[in-house]
Structure formats: structure tokens, C-alpha cells
Structure 1
């Protein structure tokens, strides 16, 4: 398994784990159920760990695909910049989730506040994850790019819509 494959395996969990964790934490707060809140905190911690794995494999994945047709270094650089910011917020969310988990287990009176701080950080992480996931998907999935072009050998860029019309004719 190379770095690009490993990156594809681990990079989805920080996003999905954060999104599921947000829903579970909101449910735990509304239900005032510590077990549900603890489950969400564990998800955030695991998401942060997978975020570190994803960051660790990103450079190797970049080296493998940066010279592929229709990819280029600019789109990878944009994804890398977004991923670095997301990872930092995700790590802070993971640390607060750990603090929240420990505070809940030890029955500290500030446990509810730590849960709310964790939720706010998770919401920020979740919002950032959308941009990171989309920019990562755009690397190999040209059909989701805003500037949706396909490069044909020997031709300038042709829009996908024009290419489809040509295929229909």
C-alpha cells in the first residue's frame, strides 16, 4: 500500500467522524446523557488521530499525483493549505473532547461547559471539513470542480458540457 492509497483510506474518517460526533454530542447535550456525550468525545478524539494520519500521508500522496494530467500543483496546494488549518482545529477539538470526557467521568462541575466548548469547536471543524473534503475530491474528480474543464491531448481545455454535446452528436 503506497502513501496515496493510505491517504485515501484514512482521510475520510476525520470528516465523517466529526460530522457524526457533532450529531451525537448535540443529542447527548439535549438528552443530558453523559454516556452519549462521552461517545461523541471519543469520536472526536479518534477523528483527530485519523487527522494526524491523514496529514502524515498527504505529502507522499501529493508526490505521487501532482504531475498527473488535469491535476497540477495549484489544486493540491489549495487542498494542503485547507487541510493544515482543518487539522489544527481538529487537534484542538480532540484535546477539548479529551478534557470534556475526563471532566464528565470525574464529575467536575465544569463538565457541561467543556462539552459546550467541544461542540463549538466541533462545529467549526465540521464547517472546515466540508471545504477540505471538497478540495480533496476535486484533485481526482474533475467533474466536481467549479471550473469544470477536461484537458485533451493536443487541444486546449474543453468544457465538460461542450464535450458531452460533441459525444451526443
Structure 2
């Protein structure tokens, strides 16, 4: 298993974990249930841990794909910039979530305030997670790029990995 494969394995959890955690946190705040909020905090902490692994495998994945046709260094650079921003906010979110877990456990008066702080940071992290996921997907999925052009005719089969008739005859 190379870094590109490892990156693909671990890079989804920071995104999905943050989105799920946000939904669970909102539910916990509405229900005023500290156990539900603590579940969200644990998801945010795990998302931050996976962000460390994702960042650690990203450089190796970049080296493997940057020279592939239709990839290019610019699109990888955009993804890398978004991923760095997301990682920072997830590290902050994980740290604040640790504090929230502790304050919930101690039934501290500031636990409610921390849950709202985590909510605001999680909303920002969710936005960055969506952007990071999109820029990452654009690396190999050219069809989701803003400048994507539909392929029609014999070129369509070539795009799917089949040789066109002119290539076979060459």
C-alpha cells in the first residue's frame, strides 16, 4: 500500500466525521443532552486525529500523482492549501472538544459556553471540509471540475480507458 492509497483510506474521515459531529452536536444542544454533545466532541477529536494521518500521507500521494495526465500541480496545490486550512481548524476543534468533554464530565458551568464555541468552529470546519473534499475530488475526477467539458463521440470511449479506432490502427 503506497501513500496515495493510504491517503485515500484516511482522508474521508476528517470530512465525514466533522459533518456527522456537527449534526450530533446540534442535536445535543437542542436536546440539552451532555451525553449527545460528548459524542460529537469524540467525533471531532477522532476527525482531528485522522487529519494528522491525512496530512502525513498527502505529500507522498502528491508525489505519485502530480505528473499524471490531466492532474497537474496547480490543482494539487489548491487542494493542499485547503487541506492545510482544514487541518488547522480541526486541530483547534479537537482541542476545544477535549475541553468540552472535560467540562461536561465535571458538570462545569462553562460547559454550555464551550458547546456553542465548538458549534461555531465546527460550522467553519464543515465549510472547509466541503471545499477540501471538492478540491481533492477534482484531482482525479475531471468531470467535477468547473471547467469540465463533456466528451462525446469516439473520444468518449477513450476517456473511459478504451482506445479509439485511430489509435488501434496506428
TM-score by length of 1: 0.90
CA distance in 1, matches of 2:155, 2:48: 45
Q: How does 1:67-146 map to 2 (within 5 A)?
A: 67-146=67-146
2:52 aligns with 52
3-state DSSP class of the match of 1:164?
A: coil
1:154 aligns with none
Alignment partner for residue 164 of structure 1, among 140, 144, 152?
Answer: 152
1:155 aligns with none
CA distance in 1, matches of 2:103, 2:30: 18
User: Runs of 5+ in structure 1 lacking a partner?
Assistant: 149-158
In the alignment of these two chains, the number of paired residues is: 156
Q: CA deviation at 1:164?
A: 1.5
Q: How does 1:33-48 map to 2 (within 5 A)?
A: 33-48=33-48
CA distance in 2, matches of 1:92, 1:73: 29
Deviations 1:56-102 (A, max 9, x none): 00000000000000001000001001100111011101111111111
Q: CA deviation at 1:165?
A: 4.8
After the TM superposition, which segments of 4 or more aligned residues of structure 1 sit over 6 Å from their partners? none
